[in-house]
Amino acid sequence: MDPNYQPAWRAWFEQGGIMTVVHMRGGGEYGDAWHRAGQKQWKINTMFDFLAGAHYMIDHGYTQRQYLVANGRSAGGIVMGGALTIDPGLFRVVLDDVGVSDTLRFETEPNGPPNVPEMGSTATEAGFHGVYSMSAYAHIHDGTPYPAVMFTTGANDPRVSPWHMLKMTARVQAATSSGRPVLLRVDYDAGHGIGSSVKQTADRFADEWAFALWQTGASAFQPKSH
């Protein structure tokens, strides 16, 4: 992502937040080798890069763990899965939008086969191990203190089937021992978000960021006592 102005981010900044973009291996920014270092059996590198970015923010005094929020969408859901499973105590909140979470089953859905060249296939032993390493659903463990999470999906998503977020929500809810909320947000009039209206997008941001501000302790977003 080149430097640019994101109007939607202003609401977050006005609450005192900052925003960081982590450039992980797997993109095309630095050529083919950079791309290949984040695909198939090396996809886990994208998770390690993301976690390294989070540690950088902490080590350099930009934030602390109790204020750290992770957000990714679509294939970035693989990275959000890593944020949950590799170091569950690193982030206070994880926001996973229309994310791929069960990569072991991903190629069975309509949009799965076109992604095989990038992610690999369970049809071979090597491919299976690579896909397994990036499957968050397969790495959720009972009794783990997971952060607060909001999973979001569109009921008509043709790119990442909604069952990814439904399965992941149920699994994390059953496994977590932290007592922090694990929520599922479904827009029944949306798909992958590409054709969503401005209002739909604004409503999603409002729900997610209010959730994050609540969980990170912002006083204006705490439930009122009765």
Helix (H) or strand (E) holding 126: helix 125-133
Kindly give, in sequence order, each residue whose CB lies less than 8 Å from that of residue 166, ignoring residues fewer than 6 positions away: 153, 184
User: Is 74 marked active-site?
Assistant: yes
Instruction: Give yes or no for a contact between 77 and 96, defined as CB atoms under 8 angstroms apart.
Output: yes
Among the listed residues 35, 55, 74, 196, the single catalytic one is: 74
In single-letter form, the type of residue at position 25 comes to R
User: Is 192 marked active-site?
Assistant: yes
Among the listed residues 101, 121, 161, 192, the single catalytic one is: 192
SS (H, E, C) 48-80: HHHHHHHHHHHHCCCCCHHHCEEEEECCHHHHH
Q: At how many degrees (to 10) do helices 44-59 and 76-85 cross?
A: 60
Which of the residues are catalytic? 74, 192
